[in-house]
Amino acid sequence: MYKSRLLNSKIIKILSIMGHTDQIAISDAGLPIPKNVERIDLALAFGVPSFIQVFESVSESIQIEKVILAEEILEHNPEIHKKILEQIRQVEKSQKNKIDITYITHEMLKIQTNECKAVIRTGECSPYANIILQSGVIF
């Protein structure tokens, strides 16, 4: 039997096919998802599941070399930003490598989702709670 904290089969499938530099996004409930990108919709109700819950589970199941955030999160959602940075530090310890953090405009982040293998939509209803994870290699 598969042995990991992550149980969603669609997310596991996407993560298993990702190669070096491939990207996956985790979004709040409002981020527009491009038609050409797979949508994994986990949203059940306002705030359920939360962005942080999904980010923690996914980030423990993928080798991350880079994350992309909207620069607007710094001013408009500092609490989520703080939690993201805390989780990144935890992942860096377990992966034993530094994760590059890049900030771009929210508009650019929306455009970048076109390059993602999938966008995982959460029930998060706070502003700019979106992240793109870029896959690294385990060797």
pLDDT, position 133: 98
129 assigned to a ligand binding site: yes
130 assigned to a ligand binding site: yes
pTM for this one?
A: 0.97
Q: What is the mean pLDDT of the chain?
A: 96
pLDDT, position 1: 58
Domains and CATH numbers, the chain: 20-135 (3.40.1650.10)
Could you read off the pLDDT of 72-127 as tens digits, one per residue?
999 999 999 999 999 999 999 999 999 999 999 999 999 999 999 999 999 999 99
Query: DSSP of 29-81, one letter per residue?
Result: TT----TTSEEEE---BTTBS-HHHHHHHHHTSS-EEEEEEETTHHHH-HHHH
100 assigned to a ligand binding site: no
Which residues does the annotation mark as catalytic?
Answer: 20
